[in-house]
Amino acid sequence: MAEKLTDGFVPNDILLNAPASSSSSSSNSSSSSSSSNVRTLLITGPNMGGKSTLLRQTALCVVLAQLGSYVPASECLLTPVDRIFSRLGAEDFILQGSSTFFVELSDIAELTTHGTRYSLALIDELGRGTSTSDGLAIALSTAEYINDVIRLFVSF
């Protein structure tokens, strides 16, 4: 039955709060020591490469695992999370007077205010609602703050 549910999907490994190792499926693994814990993932790839789908899949698997439901994985080791924050997609609320940029920053403010080291954050294309250089600065400073100060689990 499980095979019928997973046909057509490519298996993806997500390792958060796991010791960094060279056995990772990524060929671009960092040179951090084996005693450090991975809490931030920076996911890159071509357009239509499945980055956003991977983020959504991660959230879905975390919710399913915490409910005690079937998780479509060969192995699942879960650190329970207290909250899941998502900044996926770009949208605005013109009738409320909120631009895409304002909505993005509001979502990040919510994350930085209420996120704990036991939270999971999924951030996709942060800074898209402004210029390239400003968006890059916002994304980089947000990633550094989340990684260095809050220390929550994040896929960026």
| DSSP codes, 46-92 | -TTSSHHHHHHHHHHHHHHHHHT---SSS-------S-EEEE-S---
- Closest C-alpha among 52, 40, 45, 44 to residue 119: 40
Q: Which residue has the tokens 């954050």?
A: 121
Q: What integer pLDDT is reported at residue 20 of this predicted model?
A: 45
Question: Model-level pTM?
Answer: 0.75
φ, ψ of residue 120 in degrees (nearest 5): -115, 130
Q: What integer pLDDT is reported at residue 4 of this predicted model?
A: 61
CB contact at 8 A, 100 and 128: yes
Per-run averaged pLDDT (10 residues), the chain, 156 residues: 60 67 41 58 84 89 92 83 87 82 90 92 86 91 90 80
Residue 80 vs residues 20, 38, 95: alpha-carbon distances, Å: 19, 15, 38
Alpha carbon of residue 150 to chain centroid: 15
Q: What integer pLDDT is reported at residue 74 of this predicted model?
A: 82
Q: Which domains does the chain have, with CATH numbers?
A: 2-155 (3.40.50.300)
CB contact at 8 A, 56 and 47: no
Report the phi/psi class of residue 130: left, alpha or beta, with left for phi > 0 and alpha for psi in -120 to 50. Answer: beta
Local structure of residue 10 (DSSP, 8 states) = -
Helix/strand/coil for 156? coil
Q: What integer pLDDT is reported at residue 114 of this predicted model?
A: 95
